[in-house]
Amino acid sequence: MKIFAIANQKGGVGKTTTAVNLAASLVAAGQKVLLVDLDPQGNATMGSGINKREIAHGIYHVLLGLKEVEKVVRFSESGQYDLLPANRDLAGAEVELVDGVGREMRLRNALEKLKSRYDFALIDCPPALNLLAVNALTAADAVMIPMQCEYYALEGVSDLVNTIRKIRSKLNPRLEIQGLLRTMYNTNSTLAQQVSDQLKNHFGDKVYDTVIPRNVRLAEAPSYGQPVTVYDATSKGAHAYHALAKEILQRLNTQKKE
Ligand SMILES: Nc1ncnc2c1ncn2[C@@H]1O[C@H](COP(=O)(O)OP(=O)(O)O)[C@@H](O)[C@H]1O
Ligand SMILES: [Mg+2]
């Protein structure tokens, strides 16, 4: 099982949209996928068609050791993947875990128990570099960084890269950057082009070739509890996430051969 943390401490950059739609697209490409909602807002849970107000147990209970991870897994009908759901309870984990033993390792240990069941686990991170995000980065093999090509976007990314370095030296030496994903991309914008060029200068082929265009279908789909690939399979958004899944699978394949 490959574990990807989808992270960026900035909110509204497309983390959850990427988590839900990449999960569904990997399933469409024949992969077994677990989506982990690690944001107390529970947007990935709702976007997967599971009502966060009706879940008795979520990832919070797993992190606190109150419930076995196997018992918390739910199936998303619309996405055809498994989900570890979240709701507001999770906001308390930050405080309640402060004195906990191995508090950074809770998610890693939980996912370890599921690793024979899936090809991929995607972790939808909160918009912060807090203990939840540290749990995600400690559990992950690699980080996917969704970002909008705007002013200051690069500064935010370099804070994240510094955090990744720290996690690598202290908690998780194998942590890599899987790739940087340009989201809500407007091909006609000069600024987007410039930031895009800078990004490629800094990160080279870590920048995915696939870009996710701004597409209203992607913004509408969550209110139906569906990935865009189900909500509107012919939309640009759906095509883009299928292309991303393909690109990621190809990259992993070439890495294996090298
Ligand atoms: N490519 C896109 N095109 C149009 N709207 C998008 C796109 N990606 C995300 N959105 C919308 O932008 C908002 C923020 O995206 P979201 O994935 O929730 O970001 P994050 O999880 O990083 O906070 C949401 O309302 C979402 O529906
Ligand atoms: Mg989110």
- Mean of the per-residue pLDDT values of the chain: 96
CA of 125 to the centre of ligand 2 (A): 7
CA of 172 to the centre of ligand 2 (A): 24
Closest atom of ligand 1 relative to the 43 alpha carbon: 18
Give every CB contact of residue 216 below 8 A, 6+ residues apart in sequence: none
Does this model's pTM top 0.85? My answer is yes
Cα torsion 6, 174, 178, 241: sign: negative
Closest atom of ligand 1 relative to the 39 alpha carbon: 21
What residue has token string 């990314």?
157
- What tens digit of pLDDT does each residue of 53-85 get? 999 999 999 999 999 999 999 999 999 999 999
Whether residue 235 has its Cβ less than 6 Å from ligand 1? no
pLDDT for res 94: 87
- 2-257 falls under which CATH superfamily? P-loop containing nucleotide triphosphate hydrolases (3.40.50.300)
Whether residue 212 has its Cβ less than 6 Å from ligand 1? yes
Whether residue 215 has its Cβ less than 6 Å from ligand 1? yes
Whether residue 210 has its Cβ less than 6 Å from ligand 1? no
Contact 125, 39 (CB under 8 A): yes
Contact 8, 15 (CB under 8 A): yes
Q: Give residue 101's pLDDT band: very low, low, confident or very high (50, 70, 90).
A: confident
Report which protein residue has its CA nearest ligand 1's atom 16: 14
Ligand nearest to the CA of 20: 1
Whether residue 127 has its Cβ less than 6 Å from ligand 1? yes
Whether residue 9 has its Cβ less than 6 Å from ligand 1? no
- What tens digit of pLDDT does each residue of 20-34 get? 999 999 999 999 999
Report which protein residue has its CA nearest ligand 1's atom 27: 219
